[in-house]
Amino acid sequence: MTEPILSVRNLKKHYPLKKGLFNRQVGAVKAVDGISFDIAPGETLGLVGESGCGKSTAATSIIRLEDPTEGEVVFNGGGRAGATRREDGTHPNDVTKFNKRELKRFRRDAQMIFQDPSSSFNPRMPVGDSVGELLQVHGMKNRAQRRAIVGDLLERVGLSADDYDRYPHEFSGGQKQRIGLARALVLNPDFIVADEPVSALDVSVKAEVLSLINDVQEEFGLSILFISHDMSVIRSVCDRVAVMYLGEIVEIGDTDEIFADPQHPYTEALLSSIPTPNPRIRGEGIELTGTVPSPSNPPSGCRFHTRCHKVIQPDQLDLEQEVWRRLLDFTQYVEKGEFDIDDIRETVTLDDEHDPTEEELKEQIRDEYDLPMTLTDASAEQVLNEALDNLVTDNEAAATEQLTSEFTTPCAETKPDYTTHGDGHRSSCLLHDEYAEAEVALSDD
């Protein structure tokens, strides 16, 4: 087995949430909360997820633009190969423990491409100097040599050596991104983090820059961590993909495999949200309800359970999956105190003039929260009905109690482990666990 060039273990980055006069820490935004993966030499790993799921934080922590809270980033590139762990268990190549000198050395071997071409260059410096500065910082004092190297590199990324003296505002976004690539390459690194390198670009320009990145990678055998929220971009450049949700990796595996056969419900939903360029299949995507919860207070158990369309029902219930999802949503609203009977009352009153009866109110609630008038499961129906009775008689506490004690899901209680689906394809969902258990049970027989 070849040694990975980068190996991230249980990486965490928490930003303290401070409040008050003395900046007391009142909590933490868990932007990245324990991610692990490897990148092989020459490989491109994609990191995909919705905005705010911690992709960029992961990038900056790995490259140590920020100090991670916890975890290990072992970088074996740049002539560091073959190192073994010290006796105390630390790794000599652990980036998070690098001292100043090692860190500067590391900068030569790992570079980054940024998202926003308009702000990633010093507007008061000719772009050539911006690129050449890296050479200077690392000790190349000869100005003519720097110029020659940068000029040559600019040509390699599809610009001209004369562009050295031009200023950033004189370039288009796509050109700036090419220069950004040149800057990342100039120290001849082994590993590049590309944080949404094309998301600010136009479709046509996007394709050009992507193919340039691909070419450069092949030519120099680079390993790339490629961050994007755009699945189609990921698909076209990455060998493997890691799907992130709320600071965690929920699924990781070969790109083709993940696109063809996503295992985690979130990956599945993400993929099915991509509009297919086929007018004959419309509106068949899985719709995720709600928005990503706040990373300062992530949901218990499986973090995706507040939105998951496959969220597991307790054994005693037998509802249609869709109804079960809505029932849970409704429960969440009531639990969080976001349900307001007065609003319902007002709506019904507006519709017709007399004071609404309790039955009318209950009907309106079911209507507004998309719950069927009777649930197929009798026991569930009974609980819901009682809870609604309590709600319309302003007894919210009792309703909350009934709903939350009856409509529970194992997904909110147990944190799923990773299940392996063969050859580096892992995902974390209780459904797989169950499946795996069932299999184990079978083979035991």
Partner 1 sequence: MAIEHDAAETIFDENDVVTTDDVPLLEVEGLTTSFKTEAGRLVAVDDIDFTVDSGETVCIVGESGSGKTVATESVTQLIKQPPGTIGGTVRFKGQDLMDLTEKQLRSIRGNEIAHIFQNPQEAMNHCYTVGWQITEAIQIHEDVSKKVARARGVDLLDRVGIDNASARFDDYPHEFSGGQKQRIMIAMALVGNPDLLLADEPTTALDVTVQAQILRLLNDLQEEFGMGILFVTHDLGVVAEIADRVIVMYSGKIMESADVFEIFERPAHPYTQALMKCLPERGGDQRGGIPGRLPNPTNPPDGCRFAARCEHATEDCEVGEQPPQIEIAPDHHVSCIYYGEGYDSSVVRDAELEAANAPETEANR
Partner 2 sequence: MATQKPTKFDQVDWDNLTGSGRFKISINMKLLLVTGVPVLLLGLYDHFLVGDREATFVRLGEDLGLSSQFEALGLDFNPTSVDILFVFTIFLFLWYLVLPLYQNMRMTKYYWKEFKRNRPAVISLIWLTIIFVGGVLGPFFVAMPEQDLFAAYQPPVFGSIDQVHVNQCVGEISDGRCQGTWEYPLGTTRGGQDVLAMVIHGMTVTMQIAFITTMIVAAIGITFGTVSAYAGGWVDEIMMRFVDIVLSFPTLLFFLLILYIYGAGLGMFILVFGLFGWGATARYVRSKALSVSEEEFVKATKISGAGTYRIVRRHVVPNTASSIITQLTLIIPGFLLAEAQLAFLGIGDTAVPTWGQAISSGRNAIDFAPWIVLVPGMALFLTILAFNFLGDAILDALNPEAEAESEK
Angle at 212 between CA 208 and CA 214, to 5 degrees: 120
Under the binding rule (CB under 8 A), the answer on residue 309 touching partner 1 is no
Q: Which of 17, 65, 436, 438 is close enough to bind partner 2 by CB under 8 A?
A: 65
Under the binding rule (CB under 8 A), the answer on residue 279 touching partner 1 is yes
Rg (CA), the chain: 27
Q: Which of 90, 142, 300, 382 is close enough to bind partner 2 by CB under 8 A?
A: 142
Beta carbons within 8 Å of 35's beta carbon, 6+ residues apart: 8, 10, 11, 58, 242, 244, 247, 248, 249
Residues found near ligand SF4 in the complex (CB under 6 A): 265, 302, 304-305, 308, 310-312, 411, 416, 429-431
Under the binding rule (CB under 8 A), the answer on residue 82 touching partner 1 is no
| Residue 339 phi, psi dihedral angles, 5° rounding | -90, 135
Which listed range, 45-53, 117-125, 327-335, 386-394, lies at the site for partner 2 (CB under 8 A)? 117-125
Residue 22 CB: number of other CB atoms within 10 A? 7
Distances (CA, A) of 368 to 222, 341, 374, 437: 54, 12, 14, 39
Residue whose CB is less far from partner 2, 220 or 435: 220
300, interface contact from partner 2, partner 1, ligand SF4, none, CB < 5-8 Å by kind? none
Decide the pairing of beta strands 6-19 and 24-39.
Answer: antiparallel
Residue 242: which H helix or E strand, with range? strand 240-245
Under the binding rule (CB under 8 A), the answer on residue 165 touching partner 2 is yes
Q: What is the dihedral of CA 431, 248, 54, 421, to 10 degrees?
A: -70
Q: Which of residues 35-64 bind partner 1 (CB under 8 A)?
A: 50-52
| Rounded Cα gap, residues 333 and 410, in angstroms | 19
Residue whose CB is less far from ligand SF4, 127 or 411: 411
Q: Which of 273, 376, 379, 382 is close enough to bind partner 1 by CB under 8 A?
A: 273
| Rounded Cα gap, residues 434 and 420, in angstroms | 13
Angle between helices 321-335 and 396-406 (to 10 degrees): 140
| Rounded Cα gap, residues 154 and 148, in angstroms | 10
Residue whose CB is less far from partner 1, 350 or 442: 350
Residue whose CB is less far from ligand SF4, 244 or 312: 312
311, interface contact from partner 2, ligand SF4, partner 1, none, CB < 5-8 Å by kind? ligand SF4
Nearest approach, Cβ of residue 208 and partner 2 (Å): 18
Q: Which of 269, 317, 328, 365 is close enough to bind partner 1 by CB under 8 A?
A: 269
Decide the pairing of beta strands 240-245 and 44-48.
Answer: parallel
Under the binding rule (CB under 8 A), the answer on residue 211 touching partner 1 is yes
Tell me the site size for partner 2, rule CB under 8 A. 46
Q: Which of 110, 134, 270, 431 is close enough to bind partner 1 by CB under 8 A?
A: 270
| Rounded Cα gap, residues 258 and 271, in angstroms | 9
340, interface contact from partner 2, ligand SF4, partner 1, none, CB < 5-8 Å by kind? partner 1
First to last CA, the chain: 36
| Rounded Cα gap, residues 377 and 382, in angstroms | 9
User: Which residues in this chain contact partner 1 in the complex, by CB under 8 A?
Assistant: 50-52, 202-208, 211, 229-231, 235-236, 269-270, 273-283, 285, 287-288, 290-292, 333, 338, 340, 343, 346, 350
User: Which residues in this chain contact partner 2 in the complex, by CB under 8 A?
Assistant: 60, 63, 65, 103-104, 107-108, 111-112, 114-116, 118-125, 130, 133-135, 137-142, 145, 148-149, 152-153, 165, 167-169, 180, 183, 185-188, 220
